[in-house]
Amino acid sequence: MTPATRQKVLGLYRKIFQIAKKWQSASGQTEETIKEKEYIKNEARTLFRKNKHVTDPKLIEQCIEECEARIEIGLHYNIPYPRPIHLPPMGLAHKQGRTLRHQEQLRKISKPIYLKSHDEVS
């Protein structure tokens, strides 16, 4: 990792914790705010630790883009949790075979960047 990339990643990590410190839930309830602050911190720790040993520059850039997208969406919608994606349900495909594999592949391709790591961690 180049020093510039390292600084960018550390800056994002600090930014997330600053956001968590100032976070107010949409409902305004204290319990909800505390819960959401903890979620933000735990999610950041988990994802940054999971990707700590990534060395591929393209993969690092994808992780940075995902982080920035999740920050912007979270601040815009005032929701710290990843927003659900609206894809057709898997119920139409058979439980095995090419149709299922094709639908799974389409879902993977069409998944927004801010949800790439969500299924791996959750």
pLDDT, one tens digit per residue, over 60-105 is 999 999 899 889 989 988 888 876 655 455 555 455 666 677 777 7
pLDDT at residue 122 in the model: 47
Contact status, residue 66 vs residue 114, Cβ threshold 8 Å = yes
Predicted TM-score of the model (pTM): 0.70
Residue 56 is given by DSSP the state: -
Whole-number Cα distances in Å, 56 to 6, 15, 51, 52, 62: 13, 23, 11, 11, 10
Whole-number Cα distances in Å, 105 to 27, 62, 89, 113: 37, 19, 13, 15
Report residue 118 CA to chain centroid gap: 5
